[in-house]
């Protein structure tokens, strides 16, 4: 499973080249509820209808974080904030899911550096090796 952050999904939905240059494997891309809401809010502010955006997001599987991932997220969030990062709690939850499940993340948000993820290039993130 490859997880999708709102920064990636928004650019993908807008058809921007940076997002379209990363191949998506059909049926194996997912997002958490927080990211889904962030994407909807972005497009609602731009005047799009929620139903239209929801239909486009059907490509991605809707996932949920488990209790242990939420616990890790709290720790990651507090650590990042101590380091003066602007990472959100939604980002921390997503990072904890990626770390625990040892999956990839597609994002253009550099705040994931402070959440124990490492960019491998072009918006693809993985758990920092020290976290394993």
Class of domain 2-131: alpha beta
Q: How far is CA 46 from CA 14, 15, 26, 79, 92, in A?
A: 12, 15, 27, 34, 26
Average pLDDT over residues 105-126: 94
Task: Locate 21 and state its tokens.
Answer: 């240059």
In percent, the amount of the chain with pLDDT more than 70 equals 95
Average pLDDT over residues 2-29: 88
Better-predicted residue by pLDDT, 50 or 123:
123
- Reported as a pLDDT band with limits 50, 70 and 90, residue 82 is very high
pTM (two decimals): 0.91
Spell out the domain ranges in the chain. 2-131
Write the DSSP symbol of residue 29. Answer: E
Instruction: Return the pLDDT at 54.
Output: 87
């Amino acid at each position: 499973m490859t997880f999708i952050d709102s920064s990636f999904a928004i650019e993908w939905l807008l058809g921007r080249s940076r997002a379209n240059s990363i191949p998506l494997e059909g049926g194996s891309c997912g997002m958490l509820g927080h990211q889904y809401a962030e994407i909807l809010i972005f497009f609602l502010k731009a005047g799009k209808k929620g139903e239209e955006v929801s239909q486009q997001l059907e490509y991605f599987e809707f996932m949920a974080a488990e209790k242990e991932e939420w616990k890790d997220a709290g720790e990651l969030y507090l650590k990042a904030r101590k380091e003066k990062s602007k990472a959100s709690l939604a980002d921390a939850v997503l990072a904890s899911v990626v770390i625990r499940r040892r999956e990839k993340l597609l994002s253009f948000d550099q705040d994931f550096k402070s959440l124990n993820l490492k960019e491998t290039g072009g918006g693809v993130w993985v758990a920092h090796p020290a976290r394993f």
